[in-house]
Amino acid sequence: MVTASDTSNVFRPDSWEALQQVLFTDSWDSKISRFRSSYIYRGQNDVNQRLTTSLIRLGGDYAKLERHLIRNFIKYAHRDTKQGDSLWNWLALAQHHGLPTRLLDWTYSPYVALHFATNEVENFHSDGVIWATNYVKLNERLPEKLKRIIKEEESNTFTAEMLQNVCINLTDLANIQQSEAFMIFLEPPSLDNRIVNQFALFSLISDPTLAPDTYLQDHKETTFKIIIPKELKWEIRDKLDQANITERVLFPGLDGLSDWLKRHYTPSLKMQQTAVSEKHMKIQVFGKVQGVYFRKSTQEKAQSLGLTGWVANQNDGSVLMHVSGSVVCCNQFMEWVQQGPQKAEVSEVRIQPQVPTIFEDFLIR
């Protein structure tokens, strides 16, 4: 099942099957009677991460620093590579090698985007997100001068050569239309197998201070988001690996191979609960601890700390609980147990380590 938000541009699939349905939304092109999507995609591991450029993330007076970054990159890179005189090819090369630029990476492949929403195991505790934007519709908002170029070429994206015919630098680009910022899509040259395998292209906004998510928010009719639930990430990741959508393919070379192997052999989260960083305890609390909302308060406290386990009243008037979770959160929980809820009177707390046990939630028994 796919849950849609009130605005209908945010979807949250609850299964692998539902995810396939939403990934290929509106992919049928009736003009050519083919399944050729007009959407491009970008995946991010954390749903709360903004869609911004590396130039904006640089901070400081980044808009003024942009030309210095590019000028010096071209100056010092000349001995290692040749990109001709086109600034747009140089920008693509700089972005490809990690220089902060106003470009943002996208892909034509929803599965490549899905990879980048699930490739960081350390973020499997957070929902991921895929941004999907209809670049063909966004082209309708281009200045006439740029529309004319892509119409003549019968293309939906620009190459460096096409853009060079209209503007030779970023100042020229901004001057095409100063009244309103616009976003164009640039297909880079096949610099290496990484760009080819990732089926990559870049977005480029005429105003370097305007974040892509802000621009797309103003054009909601062209964009939707897919929330990747954290509960699905392991299943998605394993199925992408089986489909050969991995770092080994997307980042050809020894670095990509090493990243793939490291992630491939990382234990699942359930297995990680047995690691040293986790605690598993049996806690028994004595005193005036029944009839004072002790179990309910315990459940709320444990859940707020992300702990799992259960709590139950005992025939001797005590409260018994099994608790599993991170060392830090377990230590905070134990401090709270010493006092208990407001009406409780704790006289004694007995704590014993337990063998690792997997719980899905913290329950009252």
Residues labelled as active-site residues: 295, 313
3 state DSSP class of 363: strand
β partners of residue 311? 321, 364
d(CA 21, CA 248): 27
> How many helices (H) and strands (E) are present in the chain, helices listed first?
17, 15
What one-letter code names the amino acid at 224?
F
Instruction: Specify whether the CB–CB gap between 14 and 1 falls below 8 A.
Output: yes
Strands 308-313 and 345-353: unpaired
Does residue 354 contact residue 303 with C-beta atoms inside 8 Å? no
Alpha-carbon gap, residue 25 to 47, rounded angstroms: 20
* CB atoms closer than 10 angstroms to residue 187: 18
DSSP secondary-structure letter at 158? B
Determine the 3-state secondary structure of 191 from DSSP: coil
The tokens for 239 are 């199925």
CA 202 to CA 95: how far, in whole Å?
9
d(CA 230, CA 238): 14
Which region, left, alpha or beta, applies to residue 42 given φ > 0 means left and ψ of -120 to 50 means alpha?
beta
